[in-house]
Amino acid sequence: MREQAPSEPVINYSASPGDEVKTTTCYMCACRCGIKVWLADGKIRYIQGNPAHPVNRGVLCAKGSAGIMQHYSPARLSKPLLRVGERGSGEFKEIEWEEALQLATSWLAPIRARNPDELAFFTGRDQSQALTGWWAQQFGTINYAAHGGFCSVNMAAGGLYTLGGSFWEFGEPDWEHTQYLMLWGVAEDHDSNPIKLGLGKLKGRGAKIVAVNPVRSGYGAIADEWIGIRPGTDGLFAFALIHELLRMDRIDLDYLVRYANAHWLVVRNPGGADDGLFARDIDGRVLCWDRDASTPPLSRSEGGGWEGVAFDLASGAAQAKSTPPQPSPSLREREGAEACADAIDISPAVVGEYTLSDGRIAVPVFQLLAERYLDPQYSPDAVSERCGIPADTIRRIARELAAAAFDSKLSLPIAWTDSWGREHSEMVGRPVAMHAMRGISAHSNGFHTCRALHVLQMLLGAVDAPGSFRYQPPFPKPIPPVNRPGKTRKDNGALDAAPLGFVHAPEDLLVDAEGQPRRIDHAYSWAYPLAAHGMLHTVIRNAWAGDPYRIDTLLMFMANMSWNSAMNTRETMQWLTDKDANGEYKIPRIIYSDAYASEMVAYADLVLPDTTYLERFDAISLLDRPISDADAVSDAIRHPVFDPATQLAQDGSARDVRGFQSVLLDLGARLGLPGMVHADGSPAYRDYADYIVRHERAPGVGLLAGWRGEDGTQSGKGAPNPEQLQRYIANGGFWHESIPEHARYYKMANRGYLEWAQRFGFVASTTPIVLQLYSETLQQFRLAAQGHGALQPPLQHRERVATYFDPLPLWYEPFEHDQTSRTTFPLNAVTQRPMFMYHAWGSQNAWLRQIATRNWLYLHPDTGAKYGLADEEWVEVASHHGTISVQAKFAANVQPDTVWSWNAIGKRKGAWKLAKDAPESNQGFLLNHLISDITPKGDYANADPVTGQAAWFDLRVNIRKVEAREASDPQFAPLPFAEANEQPLRYGADLRNRVHRSKTSA
């Protein structure tokens, strides 16, 4: 008997996805792609990428498409919650918004009247720091920070103190022209769609991609070459490449003098108060040594040696008298004289030692750089074993970089004028690009490693040249950026500046008269002076310990600090619940806002339920984390696709939620904060949407740059436009303005760009931004530690500051990688975020969970054999801090001395309203349980000593086989949130059937 073919649904491939479509901005990662949300019968039918959007150009990843399940998540909170049980028990009662806001106001008002610093306001991935930082400033607390201290401050500070810009989402490779791309420590969770689009372009034209990462996944899997480096040694690898480029004389001296401070003179006066500072004239202008420039020019591409090298800034040609392989140690008696380093009618020397007119000795920056990195300790043979990279590979990569940079002869026929008025008929390219992320940043030596990569770029002339790394507006900024952290309060109680900023000198630190920290997280103290993003990871320990003082209230937004955003997870949960001798919580009050029932919700005293990203307004602002690309400036909005009052909970009950930004403004008005109330005390803003439109940070400068002015005809600056949000909605939810073609490269010294940027308020003047091979800011801190200046660190910090505030990048072992640790704990352990999930909230998503519901400890098969393990056996993993028991799985895509896992998949039982038997809470786990929040010595936070960046990736472990078990260890008491319905998911079936019925009835 012939079998009947199975019934197949009738599919109309040309049917509209829904009844209507709304364009907005995705919130499933930090990429912030443009999306089209198709609706049918009042529900989401489909989410697709917006082809017109400049970020993703229609491309959308799994996370973005699964935004449907984020909006309909069973874990959504529905009402304000007031704790009724012990903190951490998850026992709450629902209350109304008015009661919640009155209660929060009653807690916060006495703090502001008494001492605003008793409020610690710390946020996670909120993407609205332009508001939250301003709110903290108006409240008057210095204790504000966001997620960056966990994630990226080494990258931001390393770049902003060197280039005036940085990697991450604030710069990008020149996807159209680069021929050689190095990805350093780049995972797939940030900026993923633009990177994927760019990599596709590179692969399509045969450019080489090199991935430097101990784990080969995602981008590394499609790279032409994978360099499985040992974690924490990237700086050594970079220095070895620099060593080779210097040794081969394959560097761009023209570029280094024209755009960087290679020729600036540095005073050599060991022990003196001016040692290591730039030599300046009576007016404070930096000096160089001007020499005769009448000899033949030095070739850009072939080099010509350094002894006697000068540079003719008028003609733009380097001059050389002879070509030995290294700089001469002393040239004090050579002819010439000191001159202003920014003059153009001179020929400044880049090597030698010179006697200034006041009798002091000075040398050019490049001389110091060459002395350091030509040292044999940085040779490929010297660093090979430590990095795990063959010396021949290092030498080959150096040759390939030089060949790509100098032998390509890339040039764009675009006329432009530099900052000094010189006209150029072309833009000379250096088609070598680099991109770096958390694998570089999340180490205790990450700041200097980031700087090392930037020095490597500069030696190749590969910063904002065609084919290289490119700035995205509003970058570049002056070095360092002009905004310093707020320190004092005005008469109205507000801080004199935003709580976060950039320290220029010891005078900018937030320390008291004895040099002790003023901030609860110790940011901007002598322990972590350049903590530009604050230190979210130290807040809870310090608040619990009352160090440096006791706070009253901890206000947090979207920061899952009791679980995957905690270093030292077990103790963090204890600190949140610990009581003093009087039975009072050591952290008296905790207010928390989130859209979902995360692990952290259980530790709040008051929970303020946030909306989903499809139920509110947001500003993706140039004052915050911009979405510009290298050729254009952009910003965007989110706007409500749904009224949250119409979006029911999973059980069919009504939800009463409010966007946290609007709640914050409501609280500010109730507290009478400056800028949030009118003279009569009435609220200045109706809600966050009203604030977005009408708030001005400076005259004409608001959160959004598009359609400004009363009639909407201005951009960048202009009076508030009452119809601005409607204009954004009508134009796809974003604003985009191209940079003039002649202004797109060499932005740091391109007159056309700087004039364009000044019009938008990105820079205050058209003065060129000089790239800093050598950082005088760092040297000022070193001199203070050596006993010079009015402000000096306390004795316990002096050696630390003197060691790590080196004005040239240096490398040192990560603090958890000393010889003892390497012997006892021989393996590195790192986490990566998967491309298909982003932080904890992605791994509770019903569709994304179908990709992975648990994680494994991945290790190389050779490592497994060494420890007597078979695939999928259980292991105990131990660090100096703790142990976990998990299931191991073999994977050859990892450096053999490293084990790794996906981050944030492991969940606490009961959290996120997952079923009690959910794999995430049984087989899933966190490496966080092994990571201490302090160093093995217990003297400082487990963080970079310059910036305070959390050193997640310094973790060292050992492993041993254990008996199989039912669940990973440790396990904690389940949280009593209601479980989700675990029946098979059939979302959209009714919508599909509706389309099918419509077609058949027709």
The secondary structure of 453-496 as a DSSP string is: HHHHHHHTT-BSSTTSEEE-TT----SS-SPPPP-SB-TTS-BS
The closest alpha carbon to 465, from 434, 422, 437, 440, belongs to 434
Q: Point out the least confidently predicted range of 44-58, 457-471, 838-852, 879-893.
A: 838-852
Cα→Cα distances 967→572, 831, 919, Å: 22, 20, 9
The closest alpha carbon to 90, from 969, 908, 995, 985, belongs to 908
Residue 922 φ/ψ, nearest 5 degrees: -105, -60
Confidence of residue 2 (pLDDT cuts 50, 70, 90): low
Q: Bigger pLDDT: 916 or 417?
A: 417
Distance CA 881, CA 824 (A): 12
* Tokens of residue 223, six digits: 């790279």
Distance CA 278, CA 340 (A): 12
The closest alpha carbon to 414, from 422, 406, 423, 405, belongs to 423
Burial 99-112 (b: 16+ CB within 10 A, else e): ebbebbbebbeebb
What secondary structure does DSSP assign to 504-552, as a single string?
-SGGGS-B-TTS-B-STT-TTSTTSTT-TT--GGGHHHHHHHTSSS--S
Q: Are 45 and 18 in contact (CB under 8 A)?
A: yes
User: Which pLDDT tens digit goes with each residue over 494-504?
Assistant: 999 999 999 99
**Does pLDDT of 826 surpass 50?**
yes
pLDDT exceeding 70 applies to what percent of the chain?
94
pLDDT at 308: 47
Distance CA 455, CA 159 (A): 10
* Tokens of residue 849, six digits: 């969970």
Distance CA 991, CA 237 (A): 55
The closest alpha carbon to 461, from 482, 433, 430, 484, belongs to 430
Hey, which residues does 208 pair with through a beta bridge? 180
**Does pLDDT of 325 surpass 50?**
no
The helix/strand/coil state of 930 is helix
Average pLDDT over residues 430-442: 96
DSSP alpha helix (H) spans, 786-848: 795-804, 819-824, 839-842
pLDDT at 332: 42
pLDDT at 187: 84
The helix/strand/coil state of 1002 is coil
Beta-strand ranges (E) seen in 264-346 are 265-268, 287-290, 310-312, 317-319, 337-340
Q: Residues near 456 by Cβ (< 8 Å), separated by ≥ 6?
A: 238, 241, 242, 245, 434
Distance CA 778, CA 807 (A): 5
* Phi-psi region at 746: left, alpha or beta (left = phi > 0; alpha = psi -120 to 50): left
Question: What one-letter code names the amino acid at 846?
Answer: A
User: Which pLDDT tens digit goes with each residue over 843-886?
Assistant: 889 999 999 999 999 999 999 999 999 999 999 999 999 999 99
Q: Per residue, what are the HEC states of 222-239? A: HCCEEECCCCCCHHHHHH
Confidence of residue 984 (pLDDT cuts 50, 70, 90): low
Q: Per residue, what are the HEC states of 220-286? A: HHHCCEEECCCCCCHHHHHHHHHHHHHHHCCCCHHHHHHHECCCCEEEECCCCCCCCCECECCCCCE
Sign of the torsion formed by the C-alpha atoms of 58, 64, 69 and 74: negative
pLDDT at 988: 81
Report which DSSP code applies to 419: T
* Tokens of residue 950, six digits: 């959390």
Q: Point out the least confidently predicted range of 13-17, 438-442, 726-730.
A: 13-17
pLDDT at 329: 40
What is the residue whose two structure tokens read 């010179």? 354
**Does pLDDT of 108 surpass 50?**
yes
Distance CA 493, CA 116 (A): 8
Q: Point out the least confidently predicted range of 178-192, 293-307, 543-557, 669-683.
A: 293-307
- Is beta strand 827-832 parallel, antiparallel or unpaired with respect to 956-962? antiparallel
End-to-end C-alpha distance for the chain, whole angstroms: 35
Q: What is the mean pLDDT of the chain?
A: 92
Burial 464-480 (b: 16+ CB within 10 A, else e): bbbbbbbbbbbbbbbbb
Beta-strand ranges (E) seen in 628-781 are 632-638, 734-738
* Tokens of residue 219, six digits: 């981008």
Distance CA 298, CA 151 (A): 43
pLDDT at 314: 41
Distance CA 391, CA 469 (A): 26
**Does pLDDT of 999 surpass 90?**
no
* Tokens of residue 810, six digits: 């240096």
The closest alpha carbon to 860, from 895, 905, 808, belongs to 895
Task: Return the number of other C-beta atoms located less than 10 Å from residue 443's C-beta.
Answer: 31
The helix/strand/coil state of 448 is helix
Q: Per residue, what are the HEC states of 137-180? A: HHHCCCCEECCHHHHCHHHHHHHHCCCCCCCCCCEEECCCCCCE
